Amino acid sequence: MPLWLDLLRTPMAAPETPSLRRLRLTWQVLCLSSALVVGLFTPFHRAVGRLAPLAAAMLLFITVTWTAFYLVRKHRADTAFLDAGGSA
Neighbours of 26 (CB within 10 A): 13
The pTM of the full predicted model, rounded to 2 decimals, is: 0.77
Domain-embedded: residue 32: yes
Q: In total, how many domains does the chain have?
A: 1
pLDDT digit string (tens) for 1-22?
A: 677 666 655 555 678 888 988 9
- Domain-located, residue 10: no
- Tell me whether residue 3 is in a domain: no
pLDDT value, residue 88: 54
- For residue 40, the enclosing domain spans 16-83
Residue 11 lies in a domain: no
Residue 56 lies in a domain: yes
